[in-house]
Amino acid sequence: QVQMQESGPGLVKPSQTLSLTCSVAGGSIKRGDSFWNWIRQAPGKGLEWIGNIYHSGTTYYNPSLKGRITISLDTSKNDFSLEVKSVTAADTAVYFCARGRMNFFDSWGLGSLVTVSS
């Protein structure tokens, strides 16, 4: 299985853009049987799928978040990224990256806590 690691700022101000990167090791992000996903978990809450990207660059986003989300791929670095625009306190969460195999998730990063606060 691949190893995945999220990175990015742990604190973002309200109305600004949250940016995270997921580095993938032990497998190519260009493999055709995988989708590359972002999932988040607010403190003490359940899991929420944010969206994913295929190696071709095709993206799928959670309809409830669409319009604020951008997921992109950097095949030269073997990583993918998440941007969430116009954040509020409701976007405070642990953000996980995960590999999707037929849209279930078999490899996960450790998670990155992002707090939205002034």
Partner 1 sequence: DIQMTQSPSTLSASIGDTVSISCRASQNLNRWLAWYQQKPGKAPKLLIHETSTLESGVPSRFSGSGSGTEFTLTISSLQPDDFATYYCQQYNSYITFGQGTRLEIK
Strands (E), the chain: 3-7, 11-12, 18-25, 35-41, 47-54, 59-61, 69-74, 79-84, 93-101, 104-108, 112-116
Please give the structure tokens belonging to residue 78: 């073997």
Please give the structure tokens belonging to residue 83: 């941007």
The reply to whether 103 sits near partner 1 by the rule CB under 8 A is yes
The reply to whether 10 sits near partner 1 by the rule CB under 8 A is no
Cβ 92 to partner 1 shortest distance, Å: 16
Among 21, 23, 42, 60, binds partner 1 (CB under 8 A): 60
Among 3, 17, 64, 86, binds partner 1 (CB under 8 A): 64
C-beta closer to partner 1: residue 12 or 40:
40
Please give the structure tokens belonging to residue 15: 């109305």
Note the residues at the interface with partner 1 (CB under 8 A): 46-49, 60, 62-64, 96, 98, 101-106, 108-111
